[in-house]
Amino acid sequence: MIAPWLTRLARVPQGLAKGIKRILPRSLFGRTLLIIVTPTLLALCVATFVFFDRHWYTVTHRMTNAVAGEVAMIVDLMRHSPTSEARAEVVQLADKKLDLYVSYAPGEHIKARRSRTPSPLRDMLKDALSDRLAYPFAIDMRHAPQTIAIRVEAPEGVYTIVLPERRVYTPTTEVFIGWMIGSSILLSVIALLFMRNQIRPIRRLAEAAEAIGKGRDVPWFKPEGASEVRQAAAALLVMRDRLRRQITQRTAMLAGVSHDLRTPLTRMKLQLALMPETSETQGIAEDIADMESMVEAYLAFARGEEAEPAAPLDISALLEEIVAAARRQHPDIILNAPGEVQVTLRRNAMKRCIANLLGNALRYGKRAVVEVTLRDHAVDITIDDDGPGIPPDKREDVFRPFLRLDESRNPVTGGVGLGLTIARDIARFHGGDVALENSPLGGLRARIRLPV
């Protein structure tokens, strides 16, 4: 019976949950700091409230009652003293024993004064005096520095009792609150410093994972921090080494396959060269040339330029070089590039990526437009053409290896089916991606997005 009730109680309205999520910090450092600081502040508030409500009120109430009793006793003793010598003795005893200074003004009256500033201490002292005095009285909280004056109007005159403020007020409140606030700030600062040291390895781990995802080397990274963070860092380095071994093995295997295939292809080319040229030999020569181009494409796809180091590169200069080479056969290419745009890339790999996309645009269209756009922490390279385009439902399929939309299987018109696959593989190796969209020219737009 209790479990369903607790479950319903634990449910938070969806709108309230979204509002709380928007207010809460997003970083691990901010959330951890909130977890540490919030209980400290709550404990400080609760302790201060309990202290003020119990300790300060109780102590001050007892002190004001004691002073009110002493004042009432002195007034009664002064009124019942038959001689001036007796009154002087009462004044002397009050000064020595009770730390109260008493004066008497016969025939005077109390001038009514209103206190403009509220004072809990004055109200408590007033209530205590009202319980013990049967005469009108007035309290002056600002009679002199750190003193309080109480004037009592008796029938024969006004009795003035001046007492130190410490008789009715304890400074432990300020001391307690000061110690609480100071210790809370000190502990929060210490927790802040410790949390920064604990969060730093996690941030470095995130930076290293991002760099490894972009294909960059991380010689500066080493496991550090708590044991869990070290375990995650070690797992990341092991994963990086495994990926490198897999890529190296794949490249070595396909390089060996390529070498083994080139040897019989070379022998076949030599035999064809010694044979008289006929229609049959010409067809065989074309098949051998197609096989050589496919072997090169397969090897390029498997290699992925993984051995090439990444370095800062001016992407605008690289595009000018690629466009200049393509204009030798297709002069109708427009390049819109801003000034120098520095991006850390693998030059040869990115050149192959852009050249593949530009080659596809020129293969199916008559003109192309290449443009570079700077965005928040990213660079967009768009290649537009005026060709027939690709249907939206097949734009993701064309990135699969060896998939061709041209059903003729002619490598001249349809290629091998690895151009877009290699382009996206290279872009993702740099931490970016390649997407296909509708072009303003009426054909296809290939967008390369690279992080800066």
- What residues contact residue 75 under an 8 Å CB cut-off, 6+ apart? 133, 135, 152, 154, 159, 161
> Are residue 159 and residue 191 in the same domain, yes or no?
no
pLDDT over threshold 60, residue 12: no
Residue found by looking up tokens 């070089």 in the block:
321
pTM score of the predicted model? 0.52
CATH of residue 252's domain is 1.10.287.130
Q: What is the pLDDT of residue 8?
A: 52
> Are residue 430 and residue 338 in the same domain, yes or no?
yes
Q: What is the pLDDT of residue 358?
A: 92
Whether the CB-CB separation of 316 and 340 falls below 8 Å is answered with: yes
Structural domains in the chain (count): 3
Model confidence pLDDT, tens digit, residues 245-293: 877 777 777 777 777 777 787 888 888 888 888 877 777 887 787 777 7
| Poorest-pLDDT segment among 93-97, 220-224, 338-342 | 338-342
Q: What is the pLDDT of residue 448?
A: 93
> Are residue 107 and residue 202 in the same domain, yes or no?
no
pLDDT over threshold 90, residue 381: yes
Q: What is the pLDDT of residue 369?
A: 93
> Are residue 424 and residue 440 in the same domain, yes or no?
yes
For residue 382, report the phi and psi dihedrals to the nearest 5 degrees: -110, 140
Residue 235, in any domain of the structure: yes
> Are residue 164 and residue 61 in the same domain, yes or no?
yes
Q: How many helices (H) and strands (E) does the chain have?
A: 13, 11
Q: Which of 136, 170, 204 is the last residue of a domain?
A: 170
Whether the CB-CB separation of 397 and 403 falls below 8 Å is answered with: yes
Q: What is the pLDDT of residue 371?
A: 93
pLDDT over threshold 60, residue 81: yes
pLDDT over threshold 80, residue 28: no
Model confidence pLDDT, tens digit, residues 293-321: 777 766 665 555 455 677 888 988 999 99
Model confidence pLDDT, tens digit, residues 156-178: 888 899 998 888 877 776 777 77
Rounded-to-integer distance, Cα 62 and Cα 153, Å: 24
> Are residue 425 and residue 315 in the same domain, yes or no?
yes
Mean pLDDT of the chain: 80
Closest C-alpha among 43, 46, 56 to residue 173: 56
Q: What is the pLDDT of residue 29?
A: 72
Whether the CB-CB separation of 158 and 109 falls below 8 Å is answered with: yes
Mean local confidence (pLDDT), 406-435? 71
| Poorest-pLDDT segment among 10-19, 220-229, 316-325, 352-361 | 10-19
Q: What is the pLDDT of residue 408?
A: 42
Q: What is the pLDDT of residue 104?
A: 86
> Are residue 290 and residue 342 in the same domain, yes or no?
no
Mean local confidence (pLDDT), 190-194? 81
| Poorest-pLDDT segment among 54-58, 128-132, 157-161, 390-394 | 54-58
> Are residue 87 and residue 64 in the same domain, yes or no?
yes
Whether the CB-CB separation of 382 and 358 falls below 8 Å is answered with: no
pLDDT over threshold 80, residue 373: yes
Q: Which of 268, 303, 338 is the last residue of a domain?
A: 303
Residue 12, in any domain of the structure: no
Domain that holds residue 288: 181-303
Mean local confidence (pLDDT), 142-151? 85
- What residues contact residue 355 under an 8 Å CB cut-off, 6+ apart? 322, 325, 326
Confidence grade of residue 53 (pLDDT, cut at 50, 70, 90): low
Q: Which of 269, 303, 337 is the last residue of a domain?
A: 303
pLDDT over threshold 80, residue 384: yes
pLDDT over threshold 80, residue 146: yes
Q: What is the pLDDT of residue 328?
A: 86
Q: What is the pLDDT of residue 434?
A: 92
Give whole-number Cα distances, 195 to 41, 74, 203, 219, 226, in Å.
18, 62, 12, 25, 11
Residue 29, in any domain of the structure: no
> Are residue 80 and residue 134 in the same domain, yes or no?
yes
| Poorest-pLDDT segment among 41-50, 131-140, 242-251, 295-304 | 295-304
> Are residue 259 and residue 158 in the same domain, yes or no?
no
Other Cβ atoms less than 10 A from the Cβ of 214: the count is 18
Query: What is the DSSP pairing of strand 368-375 with strand 333-336?
Result: parallel
> Are residue 344 and residue 409 in the same domain, yes or no?
yes
Token reading at 369: 């437009």
Percent of all residues in the chain with a pLDDT value above 70, rounded to a whole number: 86
Instruction: Calculate the CA 401 to chain-centre distance.
Output: 39
Other Cβ atoms less than 10 A from the Cβ of 346: the count is 24
Residue 82, in any domain of the structure: yes
> Are residue 294 and residue 333 in the same domain, yes or no?
no
Confidence grade of residue 106 (pLDDT, cut at 50, 70, 90): confident
For 320, what's the count of Cα atoms within 13 Å in the CB-facing half-sphere? 10
